[in-house]
Amino acid sequence: MSKLVRIALPVLTCLMGVSILVRADQPTTAPAGVISEKSREFWCFRPVTNPSLPVVQDASWCRNPVDRFVLSKLEEQHLRPAPPATKIELVRRVYFDVTGLPPSPVQIKAFVSDPAPDAYERLVDQLLASPHFGERAAQHWLDVVRYAETEGFEYDRHLPDAWRYRDYVVSSFNNDKPFDRFVTEQIAGDEIAPGNPECETAAIFHRLGPVRRNAGNPEVAASRNEVLTERTDIIGAAFLGLTIGCARCHDHKFDPILQKDYYRLQAYLSATEEHDILLAPDEEKKEWQRKTLAINNKIKALQARAKSATGSDATRLKEEIETLEDSLPANPATIPGIGNDFAHRAEIHVLHRGDWEKKLDLVGPRPPTVLVSDDLPELAADDPAPRTQLARWLTDPHNPLTPRVIVNRLWQDHFGRGIVNTANNFGINGERPTHPELLDFLANQLLQNGWRLKPLHRLILLSNAYRQSSRSTIEQSAMRIDPEDRLLWRFPKRRLSAEEIRDAMLAATGQLNPKIGGPSVMLPVDPELTQQLYKPSQWQVSSNLEDQHRRSIYLIAKRNLRLPFMDSFDQPALTTSCSRRESSTHAPQALELLNGRLANELALALAARLEQDCGHDRAQIIEKAYQLTLGRSPTDKERGLAAQFLKDQPLKEFALALFNLNGFLYVQ
Amino acid sequence: MCNDHPAHSRPTRNRREFIRDGLCGFGSIALASLLHQQQARASSFGALSSRSSHFAPKAKSVIFLFMAGGPSHIETFDPKPLLNQLHGQKRPKEFGETKYQFIKSTARLLGTKRTFKKHGQSGLDISDLFPHTAQHADKLAVIRSCYADVVVHSAAQYQLFTGRIVPGFPSMGSWVTYGLGSDSDSLPGYVVMPDPHGGLEGGQPIFANGFLPAAYQPTVFRPGDHPVLNLQNPSDVSPAQRRKTLDLIRELNQASPDPLDEEFSARMNAYDLAFKMQSESPKLFDLSKEPQETLDLYGIGTEPTHDYGRRCLMARKLIESGVRFTCVVSGGGPGKLQWDAHDDIEENHLRKSAETDKPVAGLLADLERRGLLDSTLVLWGGEFGRSPEAESGKGRDHHNQGFSMWMAGGGIKGGQAVGATDALGLRAIESPYHIRDIHTTILHQLGLDQNQLTYPHLGRNERLTFVEGKVIHQIV
């Protein structure tokens, strides 16, 4: 690799558009290599406190401690919460929020007509116990760990059975696995329980990043360095809420993270290697190995010949090799896991400007300096379970970041924004918490609950803050004081995510296949899309129609082929951690919902269902259609407009119109 | 796509913002608003010195003629007589070391069979692969000293479009649209026309909007008469029928409990725009009404130029209608259908240049006679160049340390070659220009300052140029 390459490569992810900020006199951690006491005092590095409940004027409004914290901030600004949401609004809100699915007309009716004072509480408990809860919670986590089932780059190779990680996450949330355990299994599942499929599956976590594999002269050390970089940075973002990757080339420009800290974190992973675990019975495994070996040998022979071949010979050989590659037998059941290979452990050095060829100090595993005492020694280089040690530190009850970061994500899941708005960045460039005491209160609750998340979900969902209307009576004045509604003077309405829109359309038609788990599904797509793949044969459409109607979380997450519908409604790009979804508004979304194949097919299906359920009774059709899509009865005016339309227009167009309504696309 | 930034810089949440910046592809963003937005963002980060404002643009739009796979500089715009003299020998030691993707250090130098002539008043060297383009020599500024960081397609394609060698960052088309919006209210702001023969190694992420909001995503044209996805009504729905459905959507939205909500209004505006796009743009996509003389100019209707000619003419029409950034890709599918001449440089480049030379020249001529060239920056090039050494006898491997691109129009001073590679074309040695410098220059011609065009992502203010690039002052 040339000098130029060597200089430029390491700049990979570190340098950033911060020059404006660098020029300003930002507080930095200088002098280099030292963490000042002041830095240690930055809010997120301080121990989690145990705040007392604030005193509020209108204590009667408060249903649980969460409300005390929320109301106290509102009162400070002379604001007040909105009135309670109606039961109709609340039921749609909480179903989407907790399960990602709309309530059925029957479920709506059951809740609305239940006069018991604890009706809502029972509904929340029922939803948290639903297997769909785990699917919804998993989607949030999969965004954070930039879950995809392919490696990206040129080959976009499919990781064998990567979906097992998705299922692991779904079932972990459904079983309310303690979060410390959840972290530990992902970081070190293979170390703590070798041979245990669940723990080995959790550790697929380390395999989820994009991987560059290339033909030709491989730079082994450079590739290793790229892989380690991916694996280190995601730990910082997902668990610690720190942009630790910024310290790869130099001490962090803003946060008290030393360059050495970055490589010490990486050193926990120095022996971590890919390790596919075949789950199939021995016979099947042997058969697969035999077939694979035979074809691979043929490929190798052809590759050897291709080296010296020229012109059309070379082209022909290349094609033959490709044909052979396509004929390789499908993987038997596999966990694309990881394992320690101590014999080949890479020594981890601090790298000058992140350049893998410019090695500085040799370092061993140790947590970031700002979070430990200065004189804490590094872990021994030959520690037999280094990632277990890392997990132990991450989940130590005294670690101030891990619990704060996860409870903040939870809050964001329910209110759209976190208490810290920048959920992956609690550092100096991130935003400060709007309710720091509430954040610590929740973090404490988490620890007191033995790291279980469901009690926290429950606490939040049962609060009056959550149950208030999205329509405020003091909007005008509140908009002046807090235009972003960060203090929650009303419930923030939100547009459904890409996955929810598709799932809700499917649910309305009655075609949604509620099956949980299993291999991912590839939908039929325009040939133009698959043709743009390096290997179009990678896209194998699932022939089973019922599979095509499964929830969106089971659609394959392929880095080089993302579905235009999902793309257009802000599904993340699957390449870097996504801490919060965008919610943009633009014309191609309208084109998708008006002219797209998905919307039109499902509108047709909805029309068929309405006809089947209601015959030709127009009033009944309109009522049912509104229930199925907007989760409420139409108003008289809406009824009139719809009836007028249906006099001479096709039912399918009416169904399509409903999918396009704000009332369908948004949750109040 | 993904949001980890302060609330005040969030994209498009209400009607006002929708009009300001959310139309993005389909409306225009006032630069002043953008600056205001950035200043607001900056202020929340603390102290910040005063920022220079963006400046008057020379170009309004960009057409990138992307020669995918990596055309050889040695066969095109960078004559190397010494290479022919040393044909069949090993590279002399004084030229230094390099690493290729496939060929080894034992490889022998490969002379070129192309001949170079000086063209135009400027006497610019252009090879006989491009007789038509050569007629526009005085418009071209050839940058002979381009270099990039990686020698493999996917990563190099990411760098060429996004400034990074990893996927997930916004493409320059998305950045430019984010910065300037589009001058058209019925067309997307950023269009990619891929080669109908297939995809590229880097796949979708090459052109994508990365972490910028979905509003800045590329519209990737499909081959055939209906290039934009979802722009036609489904076959069983007439336009009149669809108009009625749209009216119903509007009426039902207005009848809902929150008809005045800003975000809801923004969404209704998006439907109006969608309808406008749908009704107006098909006229633009229809090339059958073009005069025969224009079709001939681009080589449309004759092989092998028909396809690329069609797409170049489409690019001109898009630019004319206010589209901000258009990329016309030559090459796709298997390497031999790209400029990726591993096996036989002669066969490959004769074929690829025959497909593209006349269309490119036609585009330059057409832009000029319509008065569009001054405001349209045309960029030509691939993700890297090719090796001076032979691969498999008569091919050339990838090579990223010295290669040529050219720019024309959009305020670029043509009729010159800037920078230089060494005597073998191995390495850029005189005024080397990184891909970042190409990006910086494009932004500069559009009146955009690389340091001000930023977007917060995961704790950083990201920008197209990554670490700062420099404007290629010799050509602007």
When pLDDT is averaged across residues A584-601 and rounded to a whole number, the result is: 90
Contacts of B455 in chain A (CB under 8 A): 17
And the tokens for A435? 């309710």
Q: What pLDDT, on a 0 to 100 scale, did the predictor assign at position B45?
A: 21
Using a CB–CB cutoff of 8 Å, tell me whether B51 touches chain A.
yes
pLDDT bin (cut points 50, 70, 90) of residue A311 is low
User: CA A480 to CA B45: how far, in whole Å?
Assistant: 22
Q: Which residue has the tokens 């970081």?
A: A187
**Which tokens hold the place of A195?**
């041979």
Q: What is the mean pLDDT of residues A301-318?
A: 78
Shortest CA distance from B52: residue in chain A = A20
Q: Which of A1-10, A303-312, A531-540, A646-655 has the highest mean pLDDT?
A: A646-655
What part of B 71-100 touches A (C-beta under 8 Å)? 97-100
Contact A86, A482 (CB under 8 A): no
Q: What are phi and psi of B87, to 5 degrees?
A: -50, 130
* CB-based contact B22:A586 (threshold 8 Å): yes
Put simply, the answer to whether A578 touches B2 (Cβ < 8 Å) is yes
Check CB contact under 8 Å for B97 and A2. Answer: yes
pLDDT > 70: percent of chain A: 94
Residue A196 pLDDT: 96
Q: How far apart are CA A648 and CA A642, in angstroms?
A: 11
Q: How confident is the model at residue B260 (pLDDT cuts 50, 70, 90)?
A: low
Q: Nearest-CA residue of chain B relative to A589?
A: B270
Question: What does the block give as tokens for B65?
Answer: 């003629």
Nearest to B194, CA basis, from B167, B223, B170, B218: B223
User: Do residues A507 and A101 touch, judged by C-beta distance below 8 A?
Assistant: yes
Strand extents, DSSP E, A97-255: none
**What is the rounded CA–CA span in Å between residue B311 and residue B205?**
22
Q: Tally Cβ neighbours within 10 Å of residue A377.
A: 7
User: Residue A224: its pLDDT value, please?
Assistant: 86
One-letter amino acid at A261 equals D
**Span between the terminal Cα atoms of chain B, in Å:** 34
Cα gap A412→A434, rounded to integer Å: 12
Overall average pLDDT of the A233-249 stretch = 89
The three-point CA angle B99-B105-B108 to 5° equals 115
pLDDT at residue A59, rounded to an integer: 94
How far apart, in Å, are the Cα atoms of A61 and each of A139, A415, A434, A554? 33, 19, 20, 41
Kindly list the residues from chain A whose CB atom is less than 8 angstroms away from the CB atom of residue B91. none
d(CA B260, CA A619): 28
Residue contact A16–B460, C-beta within 8 A = yes
Rounded-to-integer distance, Cα A162 and Cα A175, Å: 21
Question: Which of the residues B252, B392, B463 would you substitute to probe the A interface, choosing the one with the greatest number of A C-beta atoms within 10 Å?
Answer: B252
The answer to whether residue B229 neighbours chain A at the CB level (below 8 Å) is: yes
Q: Dihedral of the CA atoms B227, B230, B231, B236 (nearest 10)?
A: 120
With 70 as the cut, is the pLDDT of residue B286 above it? yes
Q: Where are any strands of DSSP class E within A410-523?
A: 494-495
Question: How high is the pLDDT of residue B466?
Answer: 84
Q: Do B244 and A653 touch (CB under 8 A)?
A: yes
Kindly indicate the confidence band of residue A32, based on its pLDDT and cuts at 50, 70 and 90: low
User: Would the pLDDT of A535 be above 60?
Assistant: yes
Phi, psi (degrees; rounded to nearest 5) at A41 = -90, -5
A60-63: Cβ within 8 A, 24+ apart = A61/A464, A62/A464, A63/A462, A63/A463, A63/A464, A63/A467
Model pLDDT, residue A33: 64
3-state secondary structure of B309: helix
Residues forming beta bridges with residue A144, ordered by sequence position: none
Question: Is there a contact between B29 and B20 (Cβ–Cβ < 8 Å)?
Answer: yes
Q: Which of B384, B378, B382, B365 is nearest to B441 (CA)?
A: B378
Distance CA B431, CA B421 (A): 9
The answer to whether the Cβ–Cβ distance between A587 and B25 falls below 8 Å is yes
The mean-pLDDT minimum among A46-55, A321-330, A448-457, A586-595 falls in A321-330
- Judge whether residue A2 has pLDDT over 90: no
Amino acid in position B158:
Y
Return phi, psi of residue B92, to 5°.
-60, 145
Cβ of residue A636 closer than 8 Å to a chain B Cβ:
no
CA of A552, closest CA in chain B: separation in Å?
17
Q: How far is A130 from chain B (nearest CA, A)?
A: 28
- When CB atoms are compared, the residue of B22, B333, B458 closest to A584 is B22
pLDDT for the residue numbered A605: 97
The answer to whether A657 and B248 are in contact (CB under 8 A) is yes
* A431 vs B contacts (CB less than 8 Å): 6-7, 44
- List, for residues B299-343, the tens digit of each pLDDT value: 999 999 999 999 999 999 999 998 999 999 999 887 888 999 998
Nearest in space to A596 (alpha carbons), one of A624, A567, A571: A567
When scoring A586, A630, A659 by the number of chain B Cβ atoms within 10 A, the one with the most, hence best to mutate, is: A586
Is residue A215 packed enough to be buried (19+ CB in 10 Å), middle (13-18) or exposed (0-12)? exposed
DSSP state of A511: -
What pLDDT, on a 0 to 100 scale, did the predictor assign at position B271?
86
Token pair recorded at residue B118: 């000086």
pLDDT digits (tens, 9 = 90+) for A402-415: 999 999 999 999 99
Contacts of B236 (CB under 8 A, 6+ apart): none
Using a 10 angstrom Cβ sphere, with 0-12 exposed, 13-18 middle and 19 or more buried, the burial of residue B334 is middle
Which 8-state DSSP code applies to residue B59? -
Q: Which of B102, B199, B204 sits opposite A216 (nearest CB)?
A: B102
Q: How does pLDDT run across B71-81, given as a tens digit for each residue?
A: 999 999 999 99
- Pick the more confident residue, A303 or B108: B108
pLDDT (tens digit per residue) in B134-158: 999 999 999 999 999 988 898 899 9
- CA of B396: how far to CAs of A613, B97, B107, B109, B385, in Å? 67, 17, 10, 10, 9
Tell me which chain B residues have a C-beta less than 8 angstroms from the C-beta of A568: 214, 217
Collect all residues with Cβ–Cβ distance below 8 Å to B325 and sequence separation of at least 6: B61, B62, B64, B172, B173, B176, B177, B189, B190, B191
Q: Is the pLDDT score of B214 beyond 80? A: no
How big is the CA angle at A16 (ends B461 and B444), to the nearest 5 degrees? 80
Mean pLDDT of chain A: 90
* Size of the A and B interface in Cβ pairs below 8 Å: 357
Mean pLDDT, chain B, integer: 85
Does B293 score more than 80 pLDDT? yes
Strand partners, B109: B389
Q: Give me the pLDDT at residue A309, please.
A: 72
The three state secondary structure string of A40-57 is: HCCHHHCCCCCCCCCCCC
How many CB atoms lie under 10 A from the CB of residue B259? 12
pLDDT at residue B40 is higher than 60: no
A510 has a pLDDT exceeding 60: yes
Please write the tens of the pLDDT for every residue from B401-457. 999 999 999 999 999 999 999 999 999 999 999 999 999 999 999 999 999 899 887
- Cα B399 from chain centroid (whole Å): 20
Determine which of A25, A42, A532 to mutate to test the interface with B (most B C-beta atoms within 10 Å): A532
Q: Does B210 touch chain A (CB under 8 A)?
A: yes
Q: Do A586 and B214 touch (CB under 8 A)?
A: yes
**Which chain A residues in 208-237 lie under 8 Å from chain B, judged by CB atoms?**
210, 212, 214-217, 219, 237
CB contact, 8 Å: A85 with chain B? Answer: no
Tell whether B282 lies on the interface with A, counting CB pairs under 8 A: no
> What b/e readout covers A287-301, taking b as 16+ CB neighbours within 10 angstroms?
ebeeeeeeeeeebee
Does the pLDDT of residue B348 top 70, yes or no?
Answer: yes
Q: Does B48 touch chain A (CB under 8 A)?
A: yes
Contact map slice: A 139-178 vs B, CB within 8 A: 143, 152-154, 156
What ipTM does this complex have?
A: 0.89
> Cβ(B69)–Cβ(B397) under 8 Å?
no
Q: What is the pLDDT of residue A306?
A: 77
Question: Is the CB of B225 inside 8 Å of chain A's CB atoms?
Answer: no
A56 pLDDT tier (thresholds 50, 70, 90): very high
* Rounded average pLDDT over B60-64: 96
Q: What is the pLDDT of residue A416?
A: 94
Tell me the mean pLDDT in the region A299-307: 83
- Distance separating alpha carbons of residues B8 and A638, to the nearest angstrom: 36
Nearest to B245 among A422, A577, A657 (CB): A657
Q: What is the pLDDT of residue A500?
A: 98
Q: State whether residue A608 sits within 8 Å of chain B by CB.
A: no
Contact in structure between A78 and A67 (CB atoms under 8 Å) = no
pTM of the model: 0.85
Q: Are strands B141-147 and B403-408 parallel, antiparallel or unpaired?
A: antiparallel
Q: At what angle do helices B31-44 and B172-180 cross, to 10 degrees?
A: 100
Of the ranges A138-152, B126-140, B251-265, which one carries the lowest mean pLDDT score?
B251-265
Check residue B227 and give its pLDDT: 82
Lowest mean pLDDT among A563-577, B116-130, B219-233, B396-410: B219-233
More confident residue, A317 or A238: A238
Cite the beta strand spans of B97-163 per DSSP E: 116-119, 124-127, 141-147
> What would the 3-class secondary structure string for A643-654 be?
HHHHHHCCHHHH
A663–B256 C-beta distance less than 8 A: yes
Structure tokens given for A89: 């609004």
Which residues in chain A have Cβ-Cβ distances shorter than 8 Å to B273? 587, 590
DSSP state of A238: I
Q: Is B6 close to A569, i.e. CB distance below 8 A?
A: no
Q: In this predicted model, which residue has the larger pLDDT, B239 or A647?
A: A647
Closest-CA residue of B relative to A651 is: B245
Interface residue B53 vs chain A (CB under 8 A): no
- Give the pLDDT score at A484: 87
Q: Is B7 on the interface with A (CB under 8 A)?
A: yes
Token readout for B17 is 């913002």
Residues B306 and B354 sit within 8 Å (Cβ to Cβ): no
Q: Please indicate whether, in this complex, the C-beta atoms of B258 and A662 are within 8 angstroms of each other.
A: yes
Say whether B150 and A5 touch across the interface (CB within 8 A).
yes
Which residues 322-381 in chain B show a CB within 8 A of chain A? Answer: 332-333, 336, 342-344
Q: pLDDT for A417-437, tens place per residue?
A: 999 998 999 988 888 999 999
Cα separation, B230 vs A526, in Å, equals 11
- Gap between the Cα atoms of B175 and B462, Å rounded: 11
Closest to A207 measured CA to CA, from A335, A102, A389, A295:
A335
Contacts of B149 in chain A (CB under 8 A): 4-5, 8-9
pLDDT score, position A414: 97
Instruction: Please give, rounded to a whole number of angstroms, the shortest distance from the CA of B447 to a CA of chain A.
Output: 18
Cα–Cα distance, B198 to B174 (Å, whole number): 22
CB contact under 8 A, B7 and A656: no
Whether the CB-CB separation of A212 and A9 falls below 8 Å is answered with no
Residue of B145, B177, B245, B340 to mutate when probing chain A, most A C-beta within 10 A: B245
